[in-house]
Amino acid sequence: MKNFKTNIAERVFMLLALSSISVLALITVFIIVQGAPLIGEVGVINFIFGMSWAPGRGEFGIFPMIVGSVAVTAGAAVIGVPVGICCSIFISEFAPVPLRNVFRPAIQLLAGIPSVVYGFWGLIFIVPPIRERLGGPGLSILAGSIILAIMILPVVVSISEVSLIALPGQYKQGALALGMTHWQTIRSVLLPAAKDGIVAAVILGIGRAIGETMAVIMVLGNAVAVPRSILDPVRTLTTNIGIEMGYASGEHRQALFATGIVLFVIIMILNSAAQYITRRK
């Protein structure tokens, strides 16, 4: 009887796992079928490195949006990653238990806030100070980077904290026994030992940032141009799809699916890198 129940449970779990993989496969095939003809017609080089996006004139160049995505994501990483790693160090090594029990769920709660709320908050509290104090329209790479930096904090903090907590206690005890201070132990022993997990956290955070749509639509300005400074408005790959998919048709619609293929490949590369680093650890 136990073997029968075990076999049934095994088949059910296998079916659920296969259903998840099947959904991913269907999404992948659908995007490729819809977008590949346009890439074949325009050419991979012209599509990726083209400077003009004017679907009405048959011009489908997404390079300005690739630059915008990279710029905003890099800004989010520069702002969010150091803050996230410092938070994980504080929670795992310095915070007393009562404070730790407050900080940990509070940071995890950030992951549950809808992205549109982040965008609205940024539109009210981040864009006006940038416009008044730094110049420009306020809707800019800087505003988008700040919003995304906040949004990736739960990923970076959670995984980095787990990587630090999972280290054997002998590492810390041995370093302290050799006369190192607490901070020297963290800097010279714990962080290097947990670097693979931290790097995986950073890569997953970057993947989260580059795939975000609604929040950055509201604060980037959505100008299809290569930016010259962090105060310039830009359009990312995701915001381009979100803005134009509602009214696109024909080749325009195919071009948006082709943009999704490029975005899909970028995110798959980032996730694969994170999985590789985690498995090596």
Residue found under tokens 């700040």: 146
The answer to the question of residue 19 being in a domain is no
Residue ranges in 96-229 assigned as alpha helix (H): 97-109, 115-125, 127-133, 141-165, 169-177, 182-185, 191-193, 195-210, 214-217
Per-residue pLDDT at 280: 65
Q: Which of 95-99, 119-123, 237-241 has the lowest mean pLDDT?
A: 95-99
The identity of residue 37, as a single letter, is: P
Residue 196: pLDDT band (50, 70, 90) is confident
Beta-bridge partner residues of 54: 59
The answer for residues whose C-beta is within 8 angstroms of residue 149's C-beta and 6 or more apart is: 75, 76, 77, 79, 80, 83
- Going by C-alpha positions, the residue among 207, 204, 230, 205 that lies closest to residue 219 is 230
- Look at the pTM and tell me if it is higher than 0.85: yes
Does residue 234 sit in helix, strand or coil? strand
Of 218, 201, 217, the residue nearest 83 (C-alpha): 201
CA diameter of the chain: 73
Question: Is 12 a member of any domain?
Answer: no
The residues, any chain, with a CB within 8 Å of residue 115's CB and separated by 6 or more, are 151, 212, 213, 214, 215
Instruction: Indicate whether 209 belongs to any domain.
Output: yes
**Residue 127 structure tokens:** 């864009």
Share of the chain above pLDDT 90, in %: 40
Residue at 258 is within a domain: yes
From the list 73, 43, 85, the residue with the least C-alpha distance to 60 is 43
Cα 266 versus chain centre, distance: 11
Q: Of residues 117 and 274, which shows the higher confidence score?
A: 117
Residue 274's domain is classified under what CATH number?
A: 1.10.3720.10
pLDDT, one tens digit per residue, over 209-256 is: 988 888 999 999 888 889 999 999 999 999 999 899 888 888 999 999
Q: What are phi and psi of 220, to 5 degrees?
A: -95, -20
Q: Where in the sequence is the domain holding 111, given as residue range(s)? A: 53-280
Is 20 contained in some domain?
no
In this prediction, residue 199 carries a pLDDT of 87
Share of the chain above pLDDT 70, in %: 97
Q: What is the pLDDT of residues 247-269, one digit of tens each?
A: 888 899 999 999 999 998 888 88
Q: Assess if residue 21 is contained within a domain.
A: no
Q: Name the domain count of the chain.
A: 1
Q: Which of 221, 239, 279, 275 is nearest to 62 (CA)?
A: 239
Q: Which residue, 187, 118, 112, is CA-closest to 155?
A: 112
Statement: residue 86 has pLDDT above 90: yes
Q: Return d(Cα 38, Cα 251) in angstroms, integer.
A: 7
Mean pLDDT of the chain: 88
The number of angstroms, rounded, from the C-alpha of 85 to the middle of its chain's C-alpha atoms is 16
